[in-house]
Amino acid sequence: MNRKKLNRVRRKIQSLRSRSANIRSRQLVTLARELGRRHFDRGKEPAYISDCFSDARPITIPAHSGALKRFTAAGILDQLEDDILRWEEVLSAQESEAENP
């Protein structure tokens, strides 16, 4: 993960939030994978766990063919933004370490 990719994912999330309706599960799954999550069978709905952050909670993304409910999609986007914050911390630590070896 690098800053450029992280900023691209952030813009995608902001774009989805701005329209707040007609968000499909496959769009959220794509974002989850870009943030380092992988599919994990758990319960009735598919979950996505983070390989990079072992303490991150799984994100459940319903596999519906139509659009997700507005509040369901907003909750998932909130969780994906938490991953962005974690990645920012990691990248900041790497950058400060590179400046001060």
The rounded mean pLDDT for the chain is 91
- In the predicted structure, residue 41 carries a pLDDT above the cut 80: yes
pLDDT of residue 25: 93
- In the predicted structure, residue 101 carries a pLDDT above the cut 70: no
Q: How far is CA 39 from each of CA 55, 58, 62, 90, 97, rounded to the nearest angstrom?
A: 16, 10, 12, 23, 32
Q: How much of the chain exceeds pLDDT 90, in percent? A: 71
- In the predicted structure, residue 11 carries a pLDDT above the cut 80: yes
| Rounded-to-integer distance, Cα 83 and Cα 80, Å | 5
Q: How far is CA 12 from each of CA 30, 41, 42, 45, rounded to the nearest angstrom?
A: 10, 26, 27, 23
For the chain, give every domain's residue range.
3-91
Q: What is the pLDDT of residues 77-95, one digit of tens each?
A: 999 999 999 999 999 998 8
